[in-house]
A and B are shown apart, each in its own frame.
Chain A
Amino acid sequence: MTELICVKCKVVLVEDKAELRYLGHTVSVRTLKCPKCGQVCFSEELVRGRISEAEMTLEDK
């Protein structure tokens, strides 16, 4: 993955987990996160791929 920089904290984002909540369920995805402020960054690929699939799955549950 490319290096991304948190504009606020001026530090490089590191790989971490992000929690997602939807329709009473909680799931987590691996993504990049600012180690200082916790800001996450989702790529378009992640959103249109795994997150969209997760939404569909949770809606069908």
Chain B
Amino acid sequence: MSATGRENRKAYEPFASACVHGEAPSCSVSCPLNLYVREIVGHVQKGNFTAAYKAYRVKAVFPEIVANLCDEPCKAGCVRRDLDESISLRLLEKACVEFARTKSIPSFNLPKKTQRIAVIGAGLSGLTCAVKLAAKNYPVTVYEKSGRIGGRLWGLLDAEIFLPALQAQLDGARCEVRLETEVASLGDLECDAVVVATGEGGEAFGLLEGLDPQSLGSRQPGVFVIGSLLGTTPVEDIAQGRIAAFSVEKYLKVGAMDGMPETFRRTQCAFEMDLSRVESKTAVVPQSQEAYDEKEASAEAGRCLLCDCTVCSDGCELFDSVRRMPKQMVSDAMASLHATKSAGAVRAMSSCNLCGLCGKTCPQGIDMGSFYTDFRVFKNEDGLLPPASHEFFMSDMQFANEEAYLARTAPGHDQASRVFFPGCQLAASDPRHVELTYHHLLQRIPDLALILGCCGAPAEWAAETTIRDGVAERLKAEWERFGRPEFVFACPTCKLQFERHMPEIRGISLYTLLLDAGLPELEASNEREACVFDPCSSRCDESMQRSVRQIAEKAGISLTELPWSGENARCCGWGGHMAVANPKLMDTIVRNRTSAHSLPYITYCANCQEVFSRGGKASRHILDVVLGLDKTEDRMPSLGQRRVNRMAAKRAVLEREWGLDMPDTGDEVRRGAGGVTIPDEVLSQMYKDRILEDDVYKTVEYCESTGNSVFDPNRDLYVGHLRIGVITYWVEYAKSDQGCVLHSVYSHRVEIVER
């Protein structure tokens, strides 16, 4: 790879660095300790108090003390405050302390450090800092002027509560407490770093001026100041003691006094929560008045929304399916570029529908669709894109742009003001859409040219940029040849593809044009009510979305909006070719889309319509409404039939508008040259598996002509296989006088090493 190629890839490393998923929620930033509230409460929700206690102790350090001292500033930050009542976090913390099964402090067997640390003051802040550094195996000495540890805690809490809590952490720690030892001058101490925690009104050793309020480092290298000497509350003592421990360690390692920014106190929440669908629930009041029992604690925790930014995963099933959020998706993907292992990065990439909804809704504008579009190109460059993921779609595109391709100016014209570009899927799902629409438009726009072909979107999704550019070049050449006409798009994906890769070509949606140039006389539609399902590629095309609604309403259909439509339009499951890479995800998406409303759908992408109909959802293409086509009796076209349909559309327009004859080869595609019958239920499974009839015929023919097959006398079936391209097809078929009847077909991508 070239140096620019490497640099180009490297530039993607921070792609999701602005993602705020996992950042502290508003309760946590209201807490001086920045407690891991989401984790703590999440465990309590599941009744796991031990795990909750451990998550609590990470930042509380002395849970028993905090649970008794805290005045709950988090309640002011809780998003439920204005809805019903804030979560009673302190009672939940108390429950953690009460119900944790074990409170053992883990030891990590860290290497012994030799740099010595002196802490002046055995109050809450000094001891916090001391035990944190001792836990990292630094030798720590705490100097305490008085004869006891605890400092101002003596005036705040019962000694029976705080002394055991402090002692539990000091026991076994590499920490020596010297009582009744006053430090008169820092110069007397033999150590590598000093933490001054002398308490309210205590000795400051002239260090307060120029103190860094975040790292708590003074101007004197190696000396830090914390605690009520700085006017803290007791809970803030613990927060500062913990931050200072990190700052001290950084100083000891690299000599810098500026601390570890990721440990500094946070006061701003980076995201906002949408509470519009949150139900009100009143707080759980403990029966004992003072403390929750386990059940009450879990019930109160159940009210917590575990606030986090999940805008992307709320709108798209990919994130849950691959159990990753953007930051991890990017870091996994980048790591896989340098390693031979993909660790699921390729699956995540191949499962993305590339629709860009996440980028549209993300407050930071992080568009994983655009990331994965480019990342697929990198993987393809490296030869690491599983070839079978896109094989079917690429061959389908090739068919649309070869056998089924047509580009002609209108009869009697050699130039055009406009050209109708229905897109390859429209004719595939129903050739009448193309034939009747072109005929209708030609009456109103006599110089309307026609191009039947594919826009190149499948090549884009398959990261075949050369093929994609080749398609664009050819279309641009046709456009020049026709006198630079305006393109009329029936498919929003084509329109988007042109906008991205052929921006010099002007385009308009068919539906806007139909409203403008005149609709055919609309028959009253079967359905009186429907939802318009906006295809994901129409998301930024408000005019197309509006035109479709206007047409539906003109046909007397009363429309209801889906919970997500217009600029939040979601993918039907077809996008990005996830069908092969992640069929389970596609099933989930189709189920979610089809169950979003009980009314039938009207859409204007042939793929959406087909996906929904196959998913059992009553749905029509808007052109069915325009042309008065009732499809309730029609079968969904098989994959082979879709190719036949493309040829049928081409034949129909050539015959009707140009008076040209073209042979009908449909029957051959339907039955195969050797006459193999495929029952409907097998065809339907073949559609799901993306297996073409033609590949079945080839395999049966191979088995029959070579005798390479196996006979199963129990089932009276022949079984054989053939490798075609990157796929091995297996057929099970019965033989009779009438020919072969397919019983089943299945395929795999692995290759059999034949002897």
Instruction: Tell me if A14 counts as interface (CB < 8 A to partner B).
Output: no
Judge whether B750 and A51 touch: CB under 8 Å: yes
* Cα–Cα, bound, A49→B346 (Å): 21
Instruction: Tell me if B712 counts as interface (CB < 8 A to partner A).
Output: yes
Task: Identify which of B581, B710, B750, B754 contacts A4 (C-beta below 8 A).
Answer: B710
The proximity string for A residues 30-61 relative to B, scoring 1 for CB distances below 8 Å and 0 otherwise, is 00101000111110100110011011101111
* Cα–Cα, bound, A34→B747 (Å): 21
Judge whether B753 and A19 touch: CB under 8 Å: yes
In the assembled complex, which residues on chain B have CB atoms less than 8 Å from the CB atom of A19?
Answer: 752-753
The segment from B24-32, B144-152, B174-182, B714-722 that touches chain A is B714-722
In the complex, what's the smallest C-beta–C-beta distance from A38 to chain B, in angstroms?
Answer: 4
Judge whether B746 and A4 touch: CB under 8 Å: no
The proximity string for B residues 736-755 relative to A, scoring 1 for CB distances below 8 Å and 0 otherwise, is 00000000101111111111
Judge whether A40 and B752 touch: CB under 8 Å: yes
In the assembled complex, which residues on chain B have CB atoms less than 8 Å from the CB atom of A21?
Answer: 750-753
Task: Identify which of A32, A44, A54 contacts B750 (C-beta below 8 A).
Answer: A54
Residues from 560 to 605 in B contacting A, C-beta threshold 8 Å: 581
Judge whether B708 and A44 touch: CB under 8 Å: no
In the assembled complex, which residues on chain A have CB atoms less than 8 Å from the CB atom of B709?
Answer: 7
In the assembled complex, which residues on chain A have CB atoms less than 8 Å from the CB atom of B615?
Answer: none
Instruction: Tell me if B474 counts as interface (CB < 8 A to partner A).
Output: no
Instruction: Tell me if B154 counts as interface (CB < 8 A to partner A).
Output: no
* Cα–Cα, bound, A26→B750 (Å): 9
In the assembled complex, which residues on chain B have CB atoms less than 8 Å from the CB atom of A34?
Answer: 710
Judge whether A23 and B386 touch: CB under 8 Å: yes
Instruction: Tell me if B343 counts as interface (CB < 8 A to partner A).
Output: yes
Instruction: Tell me if B479 counts as interface (CB < 8 A to partner A).
Output: no
In this complex, what residue of B is CB-closest to A2?
B714
Instruction: Tell me if B341 counts as interface (CB < 8 A to partner A).
Output: yes
In the assembled complex, which residues on chain A have CB atoms less than 8 Å from the CB atom of B710?
Answer: 4-7, 13, 32, 34, 39, 41
Judge whether A47 and B752 touch: CB under 8 Å: no
Judge whether A55 and B749 touch: CB under 8 Å: yes
Judge whether B752 and A20 touch: CB under 8 Å: yes
Judge whether A3 and B749 touch: CB under 8 Å: no
In the assembled complex, which residues on chain B have CB atoms less than 8 Å from the CB atom of A40?
Answer: 752
* Cα–Cα, bound, A55→B751 (Å): 10
In the assembled complex, which residues on chain A have CB atoms less than 8 Å from the CB atom of B712?
Answer: 2, 4-5
In this complex, what residue of A is CB-closest to B711?
A5
Which of A7, A22, A26, A56 has the most B CB atoms < 10 Å from its CB? A7
Instruction: Tell me if B707 counts as interface (CB < 8 A to partner A).
Output: yes
In this complex, what residue of B is CB-closest to A3?
B713
Contact A59-B746, Cβ < 8 Å, known A38-B755, A39-B708, A41-B719: no
In the complex, what's the smallest C-beta–C-beta distance from B339 to chain A, in angstroms?
Answer: 10
* Cα–Cα, bound, A56→B347 (Å): 8
In the complex, what's the smallest C-beta–C-beta distance from B688 to chain A, in angstroms?
Answer: 11
Contact A61-B341, Cβ < 8 Å, known A7-B710, A8-B707, A20-B753: yes
In the assembled complex, which residues on chain B have CB atoms less than 8 Å from the CB atom of A42?
Answer: 721, 730, 748
The proximity string for B residues 319-363 relative to A, scoring 1 for CB distances below 8 Å and 0 otherwise, is 000000000000000000000011110110000000000000000
In this complex, what residue of A is CB-closest to B717?
A4
Instruction: Tell me if B460 counts as interface (CB < 8 A to partner A).
Output: no
* Cα–Cα, bound, A34→B343 (Å): 37
For the residues of A in contact with B, the DSSP-based class is: mixed
Judge whether B719 and A4 touch: CB under 8 Å: yes
In the assembled complex, which residues on chain A have CB atoms less than 8 Å from the CB atom of B746?
Answer: 44, 47-48
Instruction: Tell me if B732 counts as interface (CB < 8 A to partner A).
Output: yes
Task: Identify which of A32, A47, A59 contacts B748 (C-beta below 8 A).
Answer: A47
In the assembled complex, which residues on chain B have CB atoms less than 8 Å from the CB atom of A8?
Answer: 707-708
* Cα–Cα, bound, A23→B346 (Å): 13
In this complex, what residue of B is CB-closest to A27?
B750
In the complex, what's the smallest C-beta–C-beta distance from A21 to chain B, in angstroms?
Answer: 5
* Cα–Cα, bound, A5→B718 (Å): 9
* Cα–Cα, bound, A48→B714 (Å): 21
In the assembled complex, which residues on chain A have CB atoms less than 8 Å from the CB atom of B341?
Answer: 61
In this complex, what residue of B is CB-closest to A55?
B749
In the complex, what's the smallest C-beta–C-beta distance from A7 to chain B, in angstroms?
Answer: 5
In this complex, what residue of B is CB-closest to A56?
B347
Judge whether A7 and B707 touch: CB under 8 Å: yes
In the assembled complex, which residues on chain A have CB atoms less than 8 Å from the CB atom of B707?
Answer: 7-8
In the assembled complex, which residues on chain B have CB atoms less than 8 Å from the CB atom of A44?
Answer: 730, 732, 744, 746
Judge whether A55 and B714 touch: CB under 8 Å: no
Judge whether B347 and A60 touch: CB under 8 Å: yes
Judge whether B343 and A60 touch: CB under 8 Å: yes
* Cα–Cα, bound, A4→B346 (Å): 39
In the assembled complex, which residues on chain B have CB atoms less than 8 Å from the CB atom of A60?
Answer: 342-344, 346-347
In this complex, what residue of B is CB-closest to A9?
B707
Task: Identify which of B386, B754, B755 contacts A59 (C-beta below 8 A).
Answer: B386
In this complex, what residue of B is CB-closest to A54?
B750
Judge whether B346 and A52 touch: CB under 8 Å: no
* Cα–Cα, bound, A2→B719 (Å): 13
In the complex, what's the smallest C-beta–C-beta distance from B323 to chain A, in angstroms?
Answer: 13
In the complex, what's the smallest C-beta–C-beta distance from A28 to chain B, in angstroms?
Answer: 9
In the complex, what's the smallest C-beta–C-beta distance from B36 to chain A, in angstroms?
Answer: 31
The proximity string for A residues 9-21 relative to B, scoring 1 for CB distances below 8 Å and 0 otherwise, is 0000100001111
Judge whether B730 and A47 touch: CB under 8 Å: yes
In the complex, what's the smallest C-beta–C-beta distance from A54 to chain B, in angstroms?
Answer: 7
* Cα–Cα, bound, A42→B721 (Å): 9
In the assembled complex, which residues on chain B have CB atoms less than 8 Å from the CB atom of A52?
Answer: 748
Judge whether A59 and B751 touch: CB under 8 Å: no
In this complex, what residue of B is CB-closest to A38?
B755
Contact A51-B753, Cβ < 8 Å, known A41-B710, A60-B347: no
* Cα–Cα, bound, A17→B549 (Å): 60
* Cα–Cα, bound, A26→B342 (Å): 17
In this complex, what residue of A is CB-closest to B343?
A60
* Cα–Cα, bound, A60→B732 (Å): 30
Judge whether A59 and B346 touch: CB under 8 Å: yes
In the complex, what's the smallest C-beta–C-beta distance from B384 to chain A, in angstroms?
Answer: 8
In the assembled complex, which residues on chain A have CB atoms less than 8 Å from the CB atom of B719?
Answer: 4, 41
* Cα–Cα, bound, A55→B708 (Å): 25
In the assembled complex, which residues on chain B have CB atoms less than 8 Å from the CB atom of A23?
Answer: 386
In the assembled complex, which residues on chain B have CB atoms less than 8 Å from the CB atom of A5?
Answer: 710-713
In the complex, what's the smallest C-beta–C-beta distance from B598 to chain A, in angstroms?
Answer: 33
Contact A22-B751, Cβ < 8 Å, known A2-B714, A39-B708: yes
Which of A19, A38, A59 has the most B CB atoms < 10 Å from its CB? A59
In the assembled complex, which residues on chain A have CB atoms less than 8 Å from the CB atom of B346?
Answer: 59-60
Judge whether B753 and A26 touch: CB under 8 Å: yes
The proximity string for B residues 693-732 relative to A, scoring 1 for CB distances below 8 Å and 0 otherwise, is 0000000000000011111111100110100000000101
In this complex, what residue of A is CB-closest to B744?
A44
* Cα–Cα, bound, A20→B750 (Å): 6
Judge whether A55 and B721 touch: CB under 8 Å: no
Report the 4 A-B pairs with minimum CB-CB distance, sorted nearest first: A38-B755, A19-B753, A22-B750, A20-B750
10 intermolecular pairs with C-beta atoms under 8 Å apart:
A2-B713, A3-B713, A5-B713, A6-B710, A7-B709, A7-B711, A21-B750, A21-B751, A60-B342, A60-B346
**20 additional A-B residue pairs with CB within 8 Å, beyond A7-B710, A47-B748, A55-B748:** A3-B713, A4-B710, A4-B712, A5-B710, A7-B707, A7-B708, A8-B708, A19-B753, A22-B751, A34-B710, A42-B721, A44-B730, A44-B746, A47-B746, A47-B747, A51-B750, A58-B750, A59-B386, A60-B343, A60-B347
Interface residues of A (CB under 8 A from B): 2-8, 13, 18-23, 26-27, 32, 34, 38-42, 44, 47-48, 51-52, 54-56, 58-61
